[in-house]
Amino acid sequence: NMIEDIFNIIAKSAPSIRHELSTRRGSSNTQNPTGDSQLAADIWADNLFAEKILELDSVGLYASEERENVLTSGDGFSVAIDPLDGSSNLLSNNMIGTIVGVYDSILPTSGRNLIAAAYVLYGPITTMVTAYSGSVNEYVVDQGNLRPLRKGITLPKKPQLYGFGGTENDWTPKFKKYAESIRNEFKPRYGGSLISDVNQILTYGGIFAYPALISSPTGKLRTLFEAHPVAYIIETAGGLSSNGDVSLLDLSPENLHDRTPLYVGNKTLIEELSNL
Ligand code: AFP
């Protein structure tokens, strides 16, 4: 199966990524196309994935949060990747991840052209969550091999957590009002890497948001590399995603590195937000 081949390549790379992280925590004194400062590890992981993924006959295009333009190698699926999501967490030894979206179209394109998505979480143990063919599964990555942990994951019915990015004085009045109501009911959990924050929502239920900010109406997160794959996973697990208006999967970014506000989680919580 061509999609499983892509998942396996990502899993096989996880042990070397973990191994190299300790020696590549320094800055590379460069910025990625959306202006984040890059660590040596960001560039190293991007090069590793580009090489391995484009070797697959089924993949024809590789795009990454860490490089300006796409790389092509003929016909096939397009893979969009955030090689090290939350790399600023490396210095403080908090969690980081790898996010991947597999599209049946050249990029940029609508999230409706995703056919699979996955992430690796480099936590106390390395896990991988995949969404494909209507089902979300979680694995332990054991020496590069995928060992099943949970199959057919759905968001817990009773939400428990919330995590909101950005500073409060930069939130819009509408989002502030929403946050007030959520805070009284659920526990705060914010780790600063999208993947660890989303994995908590998938595990315990709740809502994660990186909202539109007054200083940045499109928020911080990138549509193709972060929002689309996360929305695909959360929606396949029975949750909802939104940019405040429509599902994140309905967004067709004009440019590869466009950003979007992001709200994902239990259906009821995302609906409340959209109805404000
Ligand atoms: P870095 O890769 O620069 O650490 O950014 C991570 C990220 O894109 C995403 O993983 C987080 O959800 C978000 O930024 C955290 O942003 P804040 O630092 O503003 O909380």
- From the CA of 192, give the closest atom in ligand 1: 15
Q: 25 pLDDT exceeds 80? A: no
Report the nearest-CA residue for atom 19 of ligand 1.
166
With beta carbons less than 8 A apart as the criterion, state whether 276 and 138 touch.
no
- Beta-carbon neighbour count of residue 49 at 10 Å? 24
174-192 exposure pattern, b = at least 16 Cβ within 10 A, e = fewer: ebeebbeebeeebeebebe
With beta carbons less than 8 A apart as the criterion, state whether 101 and 80 touch.
yes
Q: How far apart are CA 198 and CA 206, in angstroms?
A: 9
Residue 267 has, within 13 A of its CA and on its CB side, a CA count of 9
Q: How far apart are CA 161 and CA 142, in angstroms?
A: 29
From 200, 210, 223, 264, mutation site for ligand 1 pocket: most ligand atoms within 8 A of C-beta: 210
Can you give the pLDDT at residue 94?
Answer: 94
Can you give the pLDDT at residue 29?
Answer: 83
Report the nearest-CA residue for atom 15 of ligand 1.
192
Question: Which phi-psi region, left, alpha or beta, contains residue 144 (left: φ > 0; alpha: ψ -120 to 50)?
Answer: left
Q: What's phi and psi for 101, nearest 5 deg?
A: -125, 135
From 162, 168, 194, mutation site for ligand 1 pocket: most ligand atoms within 8 A of C-beta: 194
Ligand 1 centroid distance, CA of 85 (Å): 7
Can you give the pLDDT at residue 211?
Answer: 97
Report the nearest-CA residue for atom 7 of ligand 1.
86
Question: What are the beta bridge partners of residue 262?
Answer: 210
pLDDT one-digit tens code per residue, 120-160: 999 999 999 999 999 999 999 999 999 999 999 999 999 99
Q: How far apart are CA 192 and CA 137, in angstroms?
A: 24
Q: Which protein residues touch ligand 1 with a CB less than 6 Å away?
A: 36, 85-88, 165, 192-194, 197, 210, 220-221
Can you give the pLDDT at residue 229?
Answer: 98
Quickly list H helices, the chain: 2-21, 40-54, 173-183, 194-204, 228-236, 267-274
Q: How far apart are CA 228 and CA 254, in angstroms?
A: 14
pLDDT one-digit tens code per residue, 166-214: 999 999 999 999 999 999 999 999 999 999 999 999 999 999 999 999 9
pLDDT band at 39 (very low <50, low <70, confident <90, very high): confident
Can you give the pLDDT at residue 89?
Answer: 92
Q: Percentage of residues in the chain with pLDDT exceeding 90? A: 89
